[in-house]
C-alpha cells in the first residue's frame, strides 16, 4: 500500500541514501477572490524510504516549490538536493498536467542575435517556461540534419549558409499548447509579409525577409520532439558545440531568483544595450559542491558566502560569456555594487540597482578579478555523475480546477 495515499511521487538517485520518496503537498487553504484567484498555498514535504518501507522524514513545510514547477523534465532543488522530474506518479496526474503542457523548440537565428533579450522577454511574458537554453554554432552537417525536410527546396543551400553564418540560441520552452502558441507568436514565415499582416509578431519586429526571419518553431508536437533531440539530446550527448570564444572575456551569471522572476530577458537586453557582446550563453543547474568551488575566493572574505552558495544552487541559472575590451573591470562597473540598496543610491543605472533585491539576491554574479574571467568561463556546468542508489521524491498537489494528482521523478546524484 502506498504510504502517501493519493499523493504523487518523484524518484531521485543519491550516492549516500537508499531509495526514498518525498511527498510535497501545496494545499489550497482559501480563495481570496479576484486578487488571488488560485488561493493561498501551504507547502509540506515528507521523505519515505521505499526500499525499507519506513518514513525517513516526517511531513514538514517546504515553501519554495510551486505547482508550476512540477512538470516532467524540470530540474528542481528540494532541501539542497537537485532533482530531475522524469515521469508522473499516476494516470490522473498525467492526464491533468501532462495534457496541459507541451514542449517545443524556440530557435533564435543569427540575424536576430542582437535582439535575443527582447525575444526571450516576449517568450516569458507569453507564459512560457524556458527549461533549456544554449547559444551554439551549427556545423554544416548539423544544419543539414536540422533542415532535412527542405533538401529539395531551391533555397536549401542558402538556408544552410545562413543558419551556419553565426551563433544561434536554441531553447526548450514549455507551456499550454506550446507548439501552436509559439508558431502564432512567430508567423507569418516571411518577415516582409509579417510587417504588413502581423505587426505584433516576432518576425515582423525582428526579421527581415523570408530567409532572415529571426526565429524558428516546429510545426507539430512530433517535429518539436525531433528537433529538440537534435539540440538537447536525451541520450547523453552534448549536441552542437557552444559558441564560447575563451578570449578577452568575462563571466556573468543570471542568478536563480532572477530567472524564476522572469527577469532574464530584461537583463540580457540591458547588457546588449550597454554595448557588450554576449558570445556564449547556457542555462543549467549547479550542484552545491560546484558552487562552493566556484565561489572559493569569497570563503572567509565575504560574510554572506554561505547564503551566496545557497542562492546559486537553488534553481536554474544562465551563464554568459561577455566580450568587451578590458571586460572584467568595465562589465563589473556595469553590474554595480554587490548590495542593490547601495547601487540604487550610488549607481542607479547598474544591473544590480535595477534588478537586484538584496546582497544575496542581487540579480547577477560577475567576475571580480581580471585574471579570473577566463577561469570562470571555462568552469562550465556541473560534471556528470553516476550512481546506483535511488531516491524517490513524492509530490502531491491540490488545485481547485484540477483536483489532486501525482508526478514521478528519477534523478541521478
Measured between alpha carbons, how far is residue 113 from residues 136, 169, 223 in Å? 11, 8, 24
Q: What's the pLDDT score for residue 152?
A: 93
Range in 54-63, 209-218, 275-284 with the lowest mean pLDDT: 54-63
Q: What's the pLDDT score for residue 93?
A: 67
* pLDDT, tens digit (0-9, with 9 covering 90-100), for 371-403: 666 666 666 543 333 322 333 344 444 444 444
Per residue in 292-320, is it b (16+ CB within 10 Å) or e — as a string? Answer: bebbeeeeeeeebbeebbbbbbbbbbbbb
Reduced to 3 states (helix: H, G, I; strand: E, B; else coil), residue 94 is: helix
* pLDDT, tens digit (0-9, with 9 covering 90-100), for 176-226: 999 999 999 998 999 999 999 999 999 999 999 999 999 999 999 999 999
* pLDDT, tens digit (0-9, with 9 covering 90-100), for 139-179: 999 999 999 999 999 999 999 999 999 999 999 999 999 99
Q: What's the pLDDT score for residue 383?
A: 31
CA distance 112 to 218: 18
CA distance 280 to 321: 5
Mean pLDDT of 320-328: 80
Mean pLDDT of 268-297: 92
**Domains observed in the chain:** 10-99+386-407 (no CATH), 102-231 (3.30.70.141), 249-379 (3.30.70.141)
Q: What's the pLDDT score for residue 376?
A: 67
Q: In 3D, which of 281, 275, 274 has the Cα closest to residue 254?
A: 281
CA distance 228 to 239: 10
The C-alpha angle 58, 64, 68, rounded to 5 degrees, equals: 110
Listing DSSP states for 230-274 in one string gives HHS-TTS---SPB----SSEEEEEE-HHHHHTT-HHHHHHHHHHT
Q: What's the pLDDT score for residue 371?
A: 60
Residue with cell 493519493: 6
CB 258 within 8 A of CB 355: yes
Which residue is catalytic, options 43, 82, 216, 365?
216
CB 196 within 8 A of CB 151: no
Q: Indicate the angle between helix axes 221-231 and 178-186, nearest 10 degrees.
A: 80
On the question of pLDDT at 74 being above 90, the answer is: no
Reduced to 3 states (helix: H, G, I; strand: E, B; else coil), residue 221 is: helix
Dihedral Cα 169, 110, 122, 219, nearest 10 deg = -80
CA distance 48 to 50: 6
The structure's pTM equals 0.79
Range in 15-19, 165-169, 248-252, 261-265 with the lowest mean pLDDT: 15-19
pLDDT class for 370, splitting at 50, 70, 90? low
CA distance 267 to 83: 27
On the question of pLDDT at 81 being above 50, the answer is: yes
**Known catalytic membership, residue 216:** yes
Query: How crowded is the C-beta side of 249, counted as CA atoms within 13 Å?
Result: 21
Query: Over the chain, what is the mean pLDDT?
Result: 80
Chain center to CA of 188: 27
CB 201 within 8 A of CB 186: yes
The strand pair at 391-399 and 20-28 is best described as parallel
CA distance 10 to 394: 5
CA distance 367 to 376: 7
Q: List strand residue ranges (DSSP E) for 249-340, in order.
A: 249-254, 277-284, 317-323
Question: Nearest 5°: phi and psi at 222?
Answer: -65, -45
Residue 339 zone, left/alpha/beta (φ > 0; ψ -120 to 50; rest) = beta
Residue with cell 553590474: 335
CA distance 362 to 76: 21
The C-alpha angle 264, 119, 116, rounded to 5 degrees, equals: 75
Tally of helices (H runs) and strands (E runs) in the chain? 16, 16
CA distance 123 to 202: 10
Counted residue by residue, the chain has a size of 413
End-to-end CA distance of the chain: 27
Amino acid at each position: 500500500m502506498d504510504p502517501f495515499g493519493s499523493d504523487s511521487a518523484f524518484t531521485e538517485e543519491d550516492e549516500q541514501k537508499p531509495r526514498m520518496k518525498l511527498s510535497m503537498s501545496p494545499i489550497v487553504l482559501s480563495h481570496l477572490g479576484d486578487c488571488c484567484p488560485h488561493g493561498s498555498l501551504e507547502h509540506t514535504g515528507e521523505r519515505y524510504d521505499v526500499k525499507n518501507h519506513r518514513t525517513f522524514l516526517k511531513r514538514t513545510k517546504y515553501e519554495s516549490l510551486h505547482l508550476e514547477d512540477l512538470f516532467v523534465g524540470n530540474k528542481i532543488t528540494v532541501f539542497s538536493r537537485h532533482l530531475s522530474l522524469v515521469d508522473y506518479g499516476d494516470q490522473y496526474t498525467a492526464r491533468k498536467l501532462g495534457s496541459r503542457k507541451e514542449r517545443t523548440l524556440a530557435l533564435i537565428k543569427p540575424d536576430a542575435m542582437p535582439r535575443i533579450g527582447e525575444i526571450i522577454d516576449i517568450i516569458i511574458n507569453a507564459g512560457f517556461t524556458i527549461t533549456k537554453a544554449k547559444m551554439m554554432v551549427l556545423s554544416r552537417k548539423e544544419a543539414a540534419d536540422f533542415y532535412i525536410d527542405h533538401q529539395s527546396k531551391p533555397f536549401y543551400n542558402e538556408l544552410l549558409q545562413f543558419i551556419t553564418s553565426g551563433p544561434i540560441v536554441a531553447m526548450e520552452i514549455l507551456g499550454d499548447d506550446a507548439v501552436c502558441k509559439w508558431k502564432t507568436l512567430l508567423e507569418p514565415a516571411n518577415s516582409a509579409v509579417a510587417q504588413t499582416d502581423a505587426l505584433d509578431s516576432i518576425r515582423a519586429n525582428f526579421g527581415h525577409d523570408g530567409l532572415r526571419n529571426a526565429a524558428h518553431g516546429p510545426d507539430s508536437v512530433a517535429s518539436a520532439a525531433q528537433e529538440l533531440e537534435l539540440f538537447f539530446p536525451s541520450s547523453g550527448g552534448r549536441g552542437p558545440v557552444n559558441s564560447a570564444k575563451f578570449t578577452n572575456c568575462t563571466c556573468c551569471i543570471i542568478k536563480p531568483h532572477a530567472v524564476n522572476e522572469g527577469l532574464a530577458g530584461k537583463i540580457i537586453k540591458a547588457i546588449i544595450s550597454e554595448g557588450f557582446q554576449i558570445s556564449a550563453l547556457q542555462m543549467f543547474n549547479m550542484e552545491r559542491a560546484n558552487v562552493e568551488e566556484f565561489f572559493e575566493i569569497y570563503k572567509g572574505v565575504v560574510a554572506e558566502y554561505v547564503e551566496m552558495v545557497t542562492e546559486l544552487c537553488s534553481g536554474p541559472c544562465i551563464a554568459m560569456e561577455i566580450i568587451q575590451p578590458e571586460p572584467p573591470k568595465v562589465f563589473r562597473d556595469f553590474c554595480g555594487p554587490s548590495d542593490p540598496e547601495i547601487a540604487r543610491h550610488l549607481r542607479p543605472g547598474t544591473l544590480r540597482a535595477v534588478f537586484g533585491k538584496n546582497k544575496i539576491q542581487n540579480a547577477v554574479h560577475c567576475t571580480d578579478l581580471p585574471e579570473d574571467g577566463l577561469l570562470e568561463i571555462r568552469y562550465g556546468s556541473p560534471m556528470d555523475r553516476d550512481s546506483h542508489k535511488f531516491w524517490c521524491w513524492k509530490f502531491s498537489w491540490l488545485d481547485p480546477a484540477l483536483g489532486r494528482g501525482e508526478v514521478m521523478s528519477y534523478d541521478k546524484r
